[in-house]
Amino acid sequence: MIKRLHQKGYIVVEGPLGVGKTSLALLLAERINGETILEGTEANPFLTSFYKDPKRFAFQTQFFFILKRFQRQEEINQIDLFKRVVISDFLFDKDRIFARTTLDDREFSLYEQIFQLLKVKILRPDLVIFLQARTDVLRERIKKRNRDYERSIELKYLDQINQAFNEFFFHYTETPLLVINASEIDFVNVPSDLDDLILEIERMQGGTKYYVPLGSRH
């Protein structure tokens, strides 16, 4: 299992807020002795203000994120991916999903110029795992983890982001893509769910594949 997973030197776990991408990235890294590069959302000093007043703080919040995510990508570029698997909980392209949702047209025009300049320097993953879930599931998981800066998130905004992620990955073709319905899987608390998911990752070769969680097959 470890040998075959090592053929995928750079794996990204993505998905909307609260879907469990960081948890899965950490679990996979632990299982295969890989290295994690995490985006560290909570480090953004504008995030609490953004959730309380999105229009006022969207620009500052997004530009902090794109620069921080680019810095994290630079760290990945320094790692020998032939010797160790890197698992990240963010895809650089996803920054644009949030920007298109939160910025006005003038702000986004400036953002887009910067995004395209940075994008050419980004390493392409060997595999992207997209965790998707219903908005009500995301809301409950966000409530359960009880982070201070997330308490002001409005359901409308959460649903907009969720739909934007689904739309983005519906058209995504840049890398092999494994789509997982995270509403129906508990890879954190159910070992068999994680085992079955890892087997599916091993089987991934190319294109897009939709994974049916173990519990949904009965």
Query: pLDDT by residue (tens digit) across 86-102?
Result: 999 999 999 999 999 99
Mean pLDDT of 25-36: 91
Start-to-end CA span in the chain (Å): 26
Predicted local confidence at residue 6, as pLDDT: 46
Count: domains in the chain: 1
Sign of CA dihedral 203, 208, 209, 210: positive
Predicted local confidence at residue 42, as pLDDT: 87
Q: Supply the range of the domain harboring residue 18.
A: 2-217
Mean pLDDT of 92-113: 96
152 burial class (0-12, 13-18, 19+ CB within 10 angstroms)? middle
CATH of the domain at 104: 3.40.50.300
Share above pLDDT 90 across residues of the chain, in percent, rounded to a whole number: 68
Which residue among the candidates 80, 89, 126, 136 is catalytic per the annotation?
89
Give the contacts of 96 (CB within 8 A, at least 6 positions apart). 111, 112, 115
Q: Assess contact for 42 and 147: CB atoms under 8 A.
A: yes
pLDDT band at 191, cuts 50/70/90? confident
Predicted local confidence at residue 96, as pLDDT: 95
Sheet holding 35-37, edge to edge: 35-37, 86-88, 10-14, 127-132, 177-181, 208-211
Predicted local confidence at residue 218, as pLDDT: 46
**Mean pLDDT for the chain overall:** 90
Q: Is 53 a catalytic residue?
A: no
Between 160 and 199, the more confident residue is 160
Q: What is the tens place of the pLDDT at every residue in 121-133?
A: 999 999 999 999 9
